[in-house]
């Protein structure tokens, strides 16, 4: 049975196909317009940074590619991330107006 790209990330070294300086597939990506996606190089431990790691974020590439990977080297520790952020409030409030003249 073929494993997904994400399954390979947790079990093997990840090898990505690069075309014109950008990967043609990534293990984590949220395509929704509310999606927040990133590729970062983990540079060092830093207790002041989120998650305790200092990251250098790679620039986004245009469709159909994902990120520009110029400057990455074999052996770099990288992080792919994808979050979906809802822009709608978790509670919806509705007010019902009384028609004029009624009590």
Predicted local confidence at residue 75, as pLDDT: 82
Q: In angstroms, rounded to a whole number, what is the distance separating the alpha carbons of residues 81 and 29?
A: 7
Q: Are 53 and 44 in contact (CB under 8 A)?
A: yes
The domain in which residue 72 lies consists of 5-84
For 78-95, how does the pLDDT look when each residue is reduced to its tens digit (9 = 90+)?
899 998 887 665 554 444
Asked if residue 61 is part of any domain, the answer here is yes
Query: How many CB atoms neighbour CB 9 within 10 A?
Result: 15
Asked if residue 70 is part of any domain, the answer here is yes
Number of domains in the chain: 1
Q: Are 19 and 64 in contact (CB under 8 A)?
A: no
Q: In angstroms, rounded to a whole number, what is the distance separating the alpha carbons of residues 12 and 76?
A: 15
Predicted local confidence at residue 95, as pLDDT: 45
Q: Is the pLDDT of residue 11 over 90?
A: no
Distances 78 to 38, 43, 57, 73 between C-alpha atoms, Å: 10, 9, 10, 10
Q: Is the pLDDT of residue 98 over 50?
A: no
Asked if residue 53 is part of any domain, the answer here is yes
For 31-69, how does the pLDDT look when each residue is reduced to its tens digit (9 = 90+)?
888 888 999 999 999 999 999 999 999 999 988 889 999
Asked if residue 97 is part of any domain, the answer here is no
Q: In angstroms, rounded to a whole number, what is the distance separating the alpha carbons of residues 39 and 66?
A: 9
- Distance of alpha carbon 51 from its chain centroid, rounded? 15
Q: Which pTM value belongs to this model?
A: 0.69
Q: Is the pLDDT of residue 1 over 50?
A: yes
Asked if residue 96 is part of any domain, the answer here is no
Asked if residue 92 is part of any domain, the answer here is no
Find all residues with CB under 8 Å of 5, minimum gap 6, and list them. Answer: 14, 25, 26, 27
């Amino acid at each position: 049975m073929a494993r997904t790209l994400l399954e390979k990330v947790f079990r093997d070294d990840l090898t990505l196909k690069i075309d014109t300086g950008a990967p043609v597939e990534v293990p984590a990506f949220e395509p929704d317009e509310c999606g927040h996606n990133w590729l970062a190089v983990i540079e060092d431990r830093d207790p002041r940074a989120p998650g305790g790691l200092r990251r250098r974020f790679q620039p986004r590439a245009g469709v159909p590619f994902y990120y520009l990977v110029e400057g990455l080297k074999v052996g770099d520790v990288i992080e792919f991330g994808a979050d979906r952020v809802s822009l709608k409030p978790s509670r919806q409030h509705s007010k019902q107006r009384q028609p004029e003249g009624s009590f």
